[in-house]
């Protein structure tokens, strides 16, 4: 039974004895945390030449396990090795950006009259018509080409005779002048609840409007607008509600009121049946776009999500998240997500962080490429900001052993229950 996996460069503790078995001629190594790995895939020498291009380990002290870069140009090549300047001229012709090539070198871009010579990626509308399969390349050192909007996971920046490149976590080389490095920012973090030090309890409100205000009621019970409240402000709510001119107002623990239209609030459903005392479970409310993590009947963490966009009129654009009761079946520190289903062409995001699959291809995971939390946005997954995704990832089962990149749920290491409802 496969329990999980390691990535190239991962380091794990193993017992010194090698177990001989015909299924692995190099012998099996038993890991201290459990499980076995065939010696064919391991080395005890950290300076082994096979590890020369291994990416750095995932960051454990940041919300994101890697740095990320946004591809700016349709047709940008990913090289499988270091290339020469001549090769760059050949394989990057007609790209919109080519700043690393010497000014003295002649342009390889075709003339407007010679349209048959125009590479596919330089043709109008190429981004919307190409597929992921089309991007696979047999052009010399080119492993594949990218579409504008693809994200790469970055290992390190390298410079050599042909210019500056990003070495990716998948061992490829991307021309740096086509990559915009993502600046990691966290506009908000979820909140621990039922914690005396935090002084938080359910329900929790989240301000989503850009022009939200505090409100107080006068002696005639009329709302008076007060100070501005920033987007993503988290407020504790008393549960008191007032309706004025068809507008709902909710009272905060700080004494002022917020309009319902300016935000959302937690509204978890009842605990699942046959819940063991203290058992962990996750409530995902699609109507309020919120998530609450529980231990038994005790809420421990609350935050915003972005679930799948729904469309009642066009099935091809209907990506709503499926409802039901599930369990996390596997967790990955990161993995690539790509598809051709987007209406404006393919998408690809390398090493999407903190993935927790709970229903077929649906997962809880971190999303660094948008900040639309509190609103539908995804292709069906439940998006969390990276900080919250990491928080839930470390808390939820199955437990990921130290040094592993992914783990599967088993009877001995079960996955946490996930309830999705509206």
CATH number at residue 390: 2.40.440.10
Are both 327 and 374 inside the same structural domain? yes
The H or E element containing residue 18 is: strand 14-21
Are both 122 and 168 inside the same structural domain? yes
Residue 62 lies in a domain: no
State what percent of residues in the chain have pLDDT above 70.
93
Range of the domain at 252: 203-265
Residue 355 lies in a domain: yes
Residue 59 lies in a domain: no
Q: For the segment 230-267, what is each residue's pLDDT rounded down to a tens digit?
A: 999 999 999 999 999 999 999 999 999 999 999 999 99
What is the spatial distance between Cα 239 and Cα 249, in angstroms, rounded to a whole number? 10
Are both 296 and 413 inside the same structural domain? yes
Are both 247 and 154 inside the same structural domain? no
Q: Which of 42, 44, 59 is nearest to 8 (CA)?
A: 42
Residue 195 lies in a domain: no
Are both 146 and 111 inside the same structural domain? yes
What is the spatial distance between Cα 313 and Cα 412, in angstroms, rounded to a whole number? 45
Per the listing, tokens 């021309």 go with 175
Domain count for the chain, please give it.
4
Residue 191 lies in a domain: no
Are both 101 and 130 inside the same structural domain? yes
Please list the residues that pair with 167 across neighbouring strands: 156, 173
Are both 304 and 380 inside the same structural domain? yes
Residue 58 lies in a domain: no
Are both 289 and 261 inside the same structural domain? no
Are both 290 and 402 inside the same structural domain? yes
Residues of the chain with pLDDT under 50: 98-114
Are both 415 and 294 inside the same structural domain? yes
Q: List Cβ neighbours of 169 (8 Å cut-off, separation of 6 or more).
A: 55, 66, 153, 154, 155, 334, 350, 351
Are both 339 and 399 inside the same structural domain? yes
Residue 18 lies in a domain: yes
Buried b (16+ CB within 10 A) or exposed e, 219-239: eeeebeeeeebebbbbbbbee
Verdict on whether the full-model pTM lies above 0.85: yes
Are both 303 and 363 inside the same structural domain? yes
What is the spatial distance between Cα 65 and Cα 354, in angstroms, rounded to a whole number? 8
Residue 158 lies in a domain: yes
Q: List Cβ neighbours of 89 (8 Å cut-off, separation of 6 or more).
A: 101, 105, 108
Helix (H, G, I), strand (E, B) or coil at 217: strand
Query: What are the Cα distances from residue 96, in Å, to 2, 26, 76, 138, 206?
Result: 45, 50, 9, 22, 42
Residue 15 CA from chain centroid, whole number: 34
Q: Identify whether the C-beta of residue 14 lies closer than 8 Å to the C-beta of residue 37.
A: yes
């Amino acid at each position: 039974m496969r329990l999980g996996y390691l990535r190239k460069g991962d380091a794990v503790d193993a017992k010194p004895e090698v177990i001989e078995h015909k299924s692995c001629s190099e012998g099996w190594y038993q890991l201290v945390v459990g499980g076995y790995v065939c010696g064919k895939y391991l080395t005890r020498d950290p300076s082994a030449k096979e590890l020369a291009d291994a990416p750095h380990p995932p960051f454990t002290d940041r919300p994101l396990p890697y740095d990320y870069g946004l591809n700016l140009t349709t047709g940008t090549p990913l090289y499988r090795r270091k290339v020469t300047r001549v090769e760059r001229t050949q394989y990057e012709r007609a790209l919109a950006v080519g700043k690393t090539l010497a000014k003295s070198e002649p342009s390889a871009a075709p003339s407007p009259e010679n349209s048959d010579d125009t590479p596919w990626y330089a043709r109008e509308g190429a981004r919307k018509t190409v597929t992921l399969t089309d991007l696979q390349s047999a052009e010399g050192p080119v492993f594949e080409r990218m579409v504008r909007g693809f994200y790469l996971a970055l290992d390190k920046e390298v410079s050599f005779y042909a210019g500056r490149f990003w070495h990716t976590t998948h061992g490829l080389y991307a021309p740096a002048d086509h990559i915009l490095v993502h600046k990691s920012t966290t506009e908000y973090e979820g909140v621990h609840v039922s914690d005396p030090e935090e002084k938080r309890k359910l329900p929790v409100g989240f301000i989503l409007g850009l022009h939200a205000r505090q409100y107080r009621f006068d002696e005639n019970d009329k709302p008076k607008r007060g100070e501005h409240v920033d987007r993503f402000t988290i407020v504790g709510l008393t549960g008191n509600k007032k309706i004025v001119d068809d507008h709902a107002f909710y009272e905060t623990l700080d004494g002022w009121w917020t309009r319902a239209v300016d935000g959302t609030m937690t509204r978890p459903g009842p605990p699942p049946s046959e819940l063991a005392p203290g058992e962990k479970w996750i409530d995902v409310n699609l109507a309020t776009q919120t998530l609450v993590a529980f231990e038994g009947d005790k809420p421990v963490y609350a935050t915003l999500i972005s679930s799948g966009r729904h469309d009642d009129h066009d099935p091809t654009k209907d990506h709503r998240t499926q409802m039901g009761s599930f369990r996390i079946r596997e967790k990955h520190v990161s993995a690539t997500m790509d598809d051709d289903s987007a209406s404006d062409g393919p998408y690809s995001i390398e090493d999407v962080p903190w993935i927790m699959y709970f229903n077929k291809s649906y997962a809880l995971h971190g999303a660094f490429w948008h900040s639309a939390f509190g609103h539908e946005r995804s292709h069906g997954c439940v998006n969390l900001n990276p900080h919250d995704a990491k928080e839930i990832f470390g808390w939820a089962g199955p437990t990921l052993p130290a040094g592993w990149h992914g783990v599967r749920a088993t009877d001995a290491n079960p996955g946490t229950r996930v309830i999705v409802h509206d």
